[in-house]
């Protein structure tokens, strides 16, 4: 970091960053951005900040917030905003290249839209310029290949007789057990066999310089979840639930599981929160209301966002064109992008809080 101004201006800027909320995530700016340089050039103040999450979609919003916060300095502000995704936990995976952040998308029970949420969040992050991969860790019921439009029968290339090359899909790097078995082949495996398969997918896939690896977890809190958390450093988890009481009961178990294995819960996504009638426009909470908020308050985590029960979201996922790709300007896509940026900002705050305690690890085959 290069500080070119006197100490007083420097201290003022740092205090402003500590007191001003990032308009995207709600975290203090000091938690998600690094002060690169500040200089009083006489007529204006030059300020350079580097954010820890992709900011292209919200650059104007950030500039307006900073300009308003710094208005009391008495001089015009010349802002230079950049971003670079740092590693909250470097992924030490054999032969896997560089993976800066592994994010588990989980649910306590099936049927809450976890896989659809994972696919759309991955696409939302990639749309902001991040390098994103998707690992379908639902060994028994892989669905990401279908959702991302990968042709039936696609198989990953193998290099060095050992490593899988990720299958490209809609701008993402992907790997799934669905690429290694047919749709008609059930995975009739005991827990240790499924855990072993996940370890192979994790450690024998040649991921290419990823900012985020989104892991679509199977529902529940069993062997697969424990294997992931024990084998690689998971940077954070997102728990998907619906508002109904039975789903919330299982979502609580998911939050508790990640806490027990020391994985930060970045927040809760409340799916199918409302239904809007396509005929009359009436909106109702058919699964109940406020469930995600109750869990968030109980465990001290954030509600990253809420999504509707929507026929189009289901149809687009089934057709291999998830909502963020199929209808980028829709309300649902905007919600997915907002959720994605909030989880990315949450990871950035973990990096800042760790003060570099988690180095980026690059694995190179000799």
pLDDT tens track for 295-313: 777 777 888 988 888 888 9
**CA contacts within 13 A on the Cβ side of 132:** 25
What pLDDT was estimated at residue 124?
Answer: 96
Please indicate, yes or no, if residue 89 is contained in any of the structural domains. Answer: no
Which residues, at least 6 apart from 268, have a Cβ–Cβ distance to it below 8 Å? Answer: 238, 239, 240, 241, 251, 255, 292, 295, 296, 301, 302, 303, 304
Region of 181 (left: φ > 0; alpha: ψ -120 to 50; beta: rest) is beta
Better-predicted residue by pLDDT, 190 or 76: 76
Which of the four pLDDT bands, split at 50, 70 and 90, describes residue 228?
confident
Domain housing 46: 7-83
User: Residue 17: which CATH number?
Assistant: 3.30.1340.30
User: Do residues 164 and 17 both lie within one domain?
Assistant: no
Q: What percent of the chain has pLDDT over 90?
A: 31
Which of the four pLDDT bands, split at 50, 70 and 90, describes residue 9?
confident
Q: Identify which of 101-110, 114-123, 223-232 has the greatest average pLDDT.
A: 114-123
Q: Does pLDDT of 287 surpass 70?
A: no
What pLDDT was estimated at residue 186?
Answer: 55
What pLDDT was estimated at residue 117?
Answer: 94
Q: Please, are residues 118 and 214 in contact by the beta-carbon 8 Å criterion?
A: yes
Mean per-residue pLDDT over the chain, rounded: 82
The backbone torsions φ and ψ at residue 50, rounded to the nearest 5 degrees and listed phi first, read: -115, 120
Residue with tokens 């995704």, as numbered in its chain: 85
Lowest mean pLDDT among 22-26, 56-60, 76-80, 299-303: 299-303
Please indicate, yes or no, if residue 97 is contained in any of the structural domains. Answer: no
Instruction: Choose the final residue of a domain: 35, 56, 83.
Output: 83
User: Residue 118: which CATH number?
Assistant: 3.40.50.300
Q: Does pLDDT of 47 surpass 80?
A: yes
User: Do residues 68 and 122 both lie within one domain?
Assistant: no
Question: What is d(CA 66, CA 43) in angstroms, rounded to the nearest whole number?
Answer: 18
User: Do residues 114 and 47 both lie within one domain?
Assistant: no
User: Do residues 107 and 77 both lie within one domain?
Assistant: no
Which of the four pLDDT bands, split at 50, 70 and 90, describes residue 82?
very high
> Which tokens go with 66?
């900073």
Instruction: Choose the final residue of a domain: 83, 117, 148.
Output: 83
Q: Does pLDDT of 118 surpass 60?
A: yes
The backbone torsions φ and ψ at residue 103, rounded to the nearest 5 degrees and listed phi first, read: -120, 120
In this structure, the number of other CB atoms found within 10 A of the CB of residue 101 comes to 30
What pLDDT was estimated at residue 356?
Answer: 39
User: Do residues 63 and 212 both lie within one domain?
Assistant: no
Beta strands in 41-195 (DSSP E): 45-51, 77-83, 102-106, 132-136, 158-159, 163-164, 167-169, 172-176
The pLDDT tens digits of the residues spanning 172-226 come to 999 988 887 766 555 555 556 667 777 788 888 899 889 999 999 887 766 777 7
Lowest mean pLDDT among 41-50, 87-96, 250-259: 87-96
How many distinct structural domains can be found in the chain? 2
């Amino acid at each position: 970091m290069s500080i070119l101004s006197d100490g007083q201006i420097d201290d003022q800027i740092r205090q402003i960053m500590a007191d001003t909320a990032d308009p995207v995530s709600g975290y203090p700016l000091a938690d998600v951005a690094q002060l690169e340089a500040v200089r009083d050039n006489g007529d204006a103040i030059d300020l350079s900040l580097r954010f820890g999450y992709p900011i292209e979609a919200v650059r104007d919003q950030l500039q307006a917030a900073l300009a308003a916060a710094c208005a009391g300095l008495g001089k015009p502000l010349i802002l230079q905003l950049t971003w670079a995704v740092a590693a909250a936990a470097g992924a030490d995976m054999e032969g896997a290249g560089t993976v800066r952040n592994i994010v588990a998308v989980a649910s306590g029970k099936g049927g809450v839209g976890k896989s659809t949420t994972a696919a759309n969040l991955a696409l939302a992050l990639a749309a902001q310029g991040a390098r994103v991969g998707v690992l379908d860790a639902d060994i028994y019921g892989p669905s990401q290949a279908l959702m991302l439009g990968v042709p039936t029968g696609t198989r990953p290339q193998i290099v060095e007789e050992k490593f899988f090359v990720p299958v490209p899909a809609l701008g993402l790097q992907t790997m799934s057990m669905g690429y290694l078995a047919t749709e008609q082949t059930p995975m009739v495996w005991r827990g240790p066999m499924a855990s072993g398969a996940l370890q192979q997918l994790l450690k024998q896939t040649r991921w290419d310089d990823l900012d985020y690896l989104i892991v679509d977890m199977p529902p529940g809190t069993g062997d697969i979840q424990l294997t992931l958390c024990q084998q690689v450093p998971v940077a954070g988890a997102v728990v998907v639930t619906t508002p109904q009481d039975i789903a919330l009961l299982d979502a609580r178990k998911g939050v508790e599981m990640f806490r027990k294995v020391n994985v930060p819960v970045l927040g809760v996504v409340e799916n199918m929160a409302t239904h809007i009638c396509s005929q009359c426009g009436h909106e109702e909470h058919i699964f109940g209301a406020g469930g995600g908020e109750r869990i968030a308050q109980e465990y001290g985590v954030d509600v990253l966002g809420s999504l509707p029960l929507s026929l189009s979201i289901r149809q687009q996922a089934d057709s291999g064109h998830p909502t963020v790709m199929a209808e980028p300007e829709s309300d649902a896509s905007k919600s997915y992008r907002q959720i994605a940026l909030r989880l990315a900002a949450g990871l950035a705050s973990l990096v800042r809080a760790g003060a570099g305690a988690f180095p980026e690890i690059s694995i190179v085959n000799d």
